[in-house]
């Protein structure tokens, strides 16, 4: 059986800058490739750039960091063999967080935390699996369409509104929307505010 391979854009150690775990240290495992190609994406460099790595190579690189929490992000992680990567990391004792656009229904049952951030389209099955649904908000956001995501809120799943590019007008809109729907939460991109990767 051939070894499992993934195309990896980068692996780096930082703090989580978004969502429920803002401020928490984590190792980011950024997979390469995303066919959705959103215009406002802040990681366009991950659409294509990356190197092929096997499970041993990934684990060796992760072992240099003191943190056992790994955030698998992209690009778009579900466009590669995400379940196998989760299993690899869990078997090595890592806590695994997933950040996905949720466009492809994927088995993420062994992950410790799942963030689904819908873009052009999303699989409802992934919304049902999410711990948080992170919605990027701009002046172009269809606010009526936004309402459909609130039906997925429950004891497990929470809505986070994230202002696109931390622009003040988008922050103001998020605050207004959260005041109207107080079970939602605000997610600013802390890593950009404090100028770290």
- Between CA 102 and CA 90 the distance in angstroms is 21
The per-residue pLDDT for 36 is: 92
Q: What angle do CA 171, 176, 179 make, to 5 degrees?
A: 125
Question: Which run of H or E residues covers position 127?
Answer: helix 124-129
CA distances from 150 to 73, 172, 180, 182, 186 (A): 24, 20, 12, 11, 15
The per-residue pLDDT for 40 is: 83
Domain ranges across the chain: 5-193
User: DSSP for 159-195?
Assistant: EEEEEGGG-HHHHHHHHHHHHHSTT-EE---HHHHTT
The per-residue pLDDT for 11 is: 98
Residues 100-129 pLDDT 10s: 999 999 999 999 999 999 999 999 999 999
pLDDT beneath 50, residues of the chain: none
The per-residue pLDDT for 38 is: 85
Q: In CATH, which of 3.90.1150.10, 3.40.1280.10, 3.65.10.10, 3.20.20.70 is domain 5-193?
A: 3.20.20.70
Contact 106, 132 (CB under 8 A): no
Would you state the structure tokens that stand for residue 30, as one six-digit string? 């950024």
Q: At what angle do helices 55-62 and 82-91 cross, to 10 degrees?
A: 50
Burial classification of residue 10, based on how many CB atoms lie within 10 Å of its CB (0-12 exposed, 13-18 middle, 19 or more buried): middle
The per-residue pLDDT for 2 is: 66
The per-residue pLDDT for 188 is: 96
């Amino acid at each position: 059986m051939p070894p499992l391979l993934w195309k990896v854009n980068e692996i780096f150690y930082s703090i989580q800058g978004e969502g429920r775990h803002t401020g928490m240290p984590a190792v980011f495992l950024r997979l390469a490739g995303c066919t959705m190609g959103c215009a406002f994406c802040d990681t366009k460099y991950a659409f294509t750039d990356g190197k092929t790595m096997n499970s041993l190579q990934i684990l060796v690189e992760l072992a240099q960091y003191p943190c056992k929490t790994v955030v698998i992000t992209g690009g778009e992680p579900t466009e590669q063999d995400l379940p196998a990567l989760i299993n690899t990391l869990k078997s090595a004792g890592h806590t695994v967080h997933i950040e996905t656009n949720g466009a492809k229904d994927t088995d993420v049952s062994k992950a410790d935390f799942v963030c689904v951030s819908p873009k052009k389209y999303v699989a409802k099955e992934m919304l049902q699996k999410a711990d948080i649904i992170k919605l990027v908000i701009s002046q172009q956001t269809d606010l009526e369409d936004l309402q459909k995501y609130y039906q997925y809120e429950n004891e497990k799943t929470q809505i986070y509104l994230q202002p696109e590019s931390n622009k003040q007008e988008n922050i103001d809109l998020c605050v207004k929307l959260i005041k109207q729907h107080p079970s939602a939460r605000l997610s600013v991109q802390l890593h950009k505010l404090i100028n770290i990767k």
